[in-house]
Amino acid sequence: MSAKNAARRLEMYSKLVLCRAFEDKISELAAERGRLPGMQILATGQEAVAVGVVQALSPEDVVVSNHRSHAHLLARGAEPGLLMAEIMGKAAGINKGKSGTLHMAAPELNVLMTSTVVGAGPPLAAGAAFALQYAGKEALAAVFFGDGAAAEGSVHEAMNLAALWRLPVLFICENNRWAGAQGLAEHCPVESLSQRAAAYAMIGETVDGNDADRVFARARTLAEACRLGRGPALLEARTYRMRGHGEYDRQHYVPKDEIERWRALDPVEAYGRRLTEEGLLSADQDRAVRGQARARVLEAVAFAEQAPYPAPNQALEDLWA
Amino acid sequence: MTKGTFGQAINSALDTALALDKRVFVAGEGVGVSIHADPNMPTSGLLAKYGPERVKDTPVSEAAIMGLAVGAAAMGLLPVVEIMFFPFITLASDMLVNHAAKLRYLSGGKTSFPLTVRVKAGVNFSAGCQHSHNLEAWLAHCPGLKVAFPSNPADAKGLLLSAIFDPNPVVVVEEMPLYWTTGQYPKGDQRAPLGRAEVVRAGRECTVVAYGSAVHTALAAAEGLAQKGLSVEVLDLRCLAPLDREAVLGSVRKTGRLVVVHDANKTCGLGAEIAALAAEQAFESLKAPVRRVAAPDIPVPFSPPQERFNRPDARAVAEAVESLV
Ligand SMILES: Cc1ncc(C[n+]2csc(CCOP(=O)(O)OP(=O)(O)O)c2C)c(N)n1
Ligand SMILES: [Mg+2]
């Protein structure tokens, strides 16, 4: 293992830990009345998909995200304070309080668009990929969508178009086994969503979405193919939605043993263990990584809480270019 | 009569219809098993009572949900489908607008589409504009669609029952923040007619026309103005299509003044239609210009102070009325 690889993997671990700490804090704040407006939809348990895929992207690659976006944004390097302020609806938020938690976009980081309309991401990504192809760039558009979203017609239309025009789209299906309160078997006739790729004559693969190394490796290979003009690819990452659909969801419909089974496969803990076993992460380093993440999150909360709300009539701004 | 919440009243309508007629079935995302363990959610308990053949959880596929309703209705069933948030009706709009609303006409009256769409709406639950966007004016603009918009539990039940058994496609808009409000609603199969408005507060000096939760805004304004000695009539439209034109005109001819209030943004909203109606058919009765109190022409903002800024409140309605008298 080269030193470069070791550094990259430690970076991935720090990001996993940061994503988890950030969302654990949101979950804590959401439980206190009045501290966070609106619904809080967390990617707890799915961090290795976000971190592994984003690590495989280059800065020119474009990311399109969905309602479960925090980890995508943090993995791409978004400032936790700007996200937290946005989630609280503050003027200092990454989108001036116009988005809130559900639609945060950071075009400065090439997280170009986020839509909470399920299934909207893939066609948007096809458009972004077309622009990259049009400009002759060796870059791609990576779009995250869920197993539930795979049932929307828009996803199929986007895949067909992308395959037909060989658009550089990396479709990442985060199969967390739930769409709201509907389990995979209740909303999807196939167990493996990567099978769908065959219908559009594109590459399709399934990867263990709780293994950051494997996600990274497969995403890097597929991304390379996309960039070289081989057309789109579909990567299904099998993972699990550990905290329910949103913070108001008590998971009353989820079998208890299922949650327990997946808790044992926690992607953040698993990665820490692996790096420790490989001698890349000492106990002291691990404490430092976790301590730094906690400190950044506390700083983010402090920044966001003292930040003012936007003026009410600034609601009238930002509609038109 | 029973006392209960708006959500329970809808539940009672669905329960009544399912019990009454085997042709009725319910479908949508999470209408059976839901992430919400709350008896005030309208479809709560239906799966346990009627089973998965009649209470059908669907994939996240709005076009297919609406197509399911259109096709099944053409075959004689009475589908009741749910759209989880109003903006997502755009994904189902081809099936609704180009098919449910037009296929009977295109068939020369040979087919019919007795389907009901329950749409969950509202502009004040901090979810932002991809979840909050009251598009009722789009729907009311489509010939072939009926649009009901209840403001209270009794109408929530009565209008939904009428919708289910109406031989035409009907969209019933449910504002989710109303789910937890309480009131009386009738037991059993008691229907409220589609296309009939109701005077919910009688008055002499100004008519305020509203629907849905804006009715409560209007009533609060009327109450405040009564303290100042102004007599305001509040007309609850209850149904936007067909529109009870006679009720609007009757009230305007009586009071001579008209304010329309809705949570949707102003331009091309229902208020424009009501104002035009008064101008075309009651001009001689008007003692003052017509005023519209509506949201500004922006998407519903997320940030709490901006979300409040966006939504017309009782003060804005009261100011509009006072500017006319
Ligand atoms: C078009 C549309 N329909 C319904 C919803 C409501 N909704 C939000 S998330 C969700 C489930 C999506 O499941 P999946 O795509 O698997 O993503 P996950 O939530 O599991 O990350 C639903 C139905 C929505 N936001 N957009
Ligand atoms: Mg899912």
- Strands B232-236 and B198-201: what pairing? antiparallel
* Fold match flag (B2-185 vs B198-324): yes
d(CA B270, CA A93): 34
Q: pLDDT tens, position by position, for chain B (325 residues)? A: 999 999 999 999 999 999 999 999 999 999 999 999 999 999 999 999 999 999 999 999 999 999 999 999 999 999 999 999 999 999 999 999 999 999 999 999 999 999 999 999 999 999 999 999 999 999 999 999 999 999 999 999 999 999 999 999 999 999 999 999 999 999 999 999 999 999 999 999 999 999 999 999 999 999 999 999 999 999 999 999 999 999 999 999 999 999 999 999 999 999 999 999 999 999 999 999 999 999 999 999 999 999 999 999 999 999 999 999 9
Residue-wise pLDDT for A28-48, tens only, equals 999 998 899 999 999 999 999
Q: Which residues of B are catalytic?
A: 62, 131
Give the model's confidence band at A233: pLDDT under 50 very low, under 70 low, under 90 confident, else very high.
very high
Q: CB A248 to CB B35 under 8 A?
A: yes
CA of B35 to the centre of ligand 1 (A): 12
Question: With contact defined as beta carbons under 8 Å apart, do B244 and B237 qualify?
Answer: yes
Q: What is the mean pLDDT of residues A104-115?
A: 98
For residue A1, the model assigns a pLDDT of 63
| pLDDT value at A294 more than 80 | yes
Residue-wise pLDDT for A145-164, tens only, equals 999 999 999 999 999 999 99
Q: CB B302 to CB A97 under 8 A?
A: yes
CB contacts < 8 A, A to B, total: 128
Residue-wise pLDDT for A119-140, tens only, equals 999 999 999 999 999 999 999 9
List all residues 6 or more positions away from B309 whose beta carbon is below 8 Å from its beta carbon.
Answer: A312, A313, A315, B301
What type of residue is B28? G
Domain B2-185 has CATH 3.40.50.970: yes
Chain A residues whose CB is inside 8 A of the B63 CB are 153
CA of A245 to the centre of ligand 2 (A): 8
Number of neighbouring beta carbons within 10 Å of residue A283: 8
When CB atoms are compared, the residue of A90, A97, A319 closest to B298 is A319
Q: Choose among B240, B229, B227, B236: nearest CA to B207.
A: B236
Atom of ligand 1 nearest to the CA of A245: 19
Chain A residues whose CB is inside 8 A of the B60 CB are 118-119, 148-149, 151-152, 179-180, 187
Q: CB B296 to CB A312 under 8 A?
A: no
- Strands B24-28 and B78-83: what pairing? parallel
Number of neighbouring beta carbons within 10 Å of residue B74: 18
The SS3 assignment for B26 reads strand
CA of B36 to the centre of ligand 1 (A): 14
The SS3 assignment for B259 reads strand
Residue-wise pLDDT for A48-84, tens only, equals 999 999 999 999 999 999 999 999 999 999 999 999 9
The SS3 assignment for B213 reads coil
The domains of chain B are located at 2-185, 198-324
Q: CB B59 to CB A249 under 8 A?
A: no
Q: Choose among A122, A73, A319: nearest CA to A232.
A: A122
Query: Would you tell me which CATH number, out of the four given (3.40.50.920, 2.50.20.20, 2.60.120.10, 3.40.50.300), belongs to the domain B198-324?
Result: 3.40.50.920
For residue A2, the model assigns a pLDDT of 87
List all residues 6 or more positions away from B166 whose beta carbon is below 8 Å from its beta carbon.
Answer: B114, B116, B146, B194
For residue A140, the model assigns a pLDDT of 98
For residue B224, the model assigns a pLDDT of 98
What type of residue is A93? G
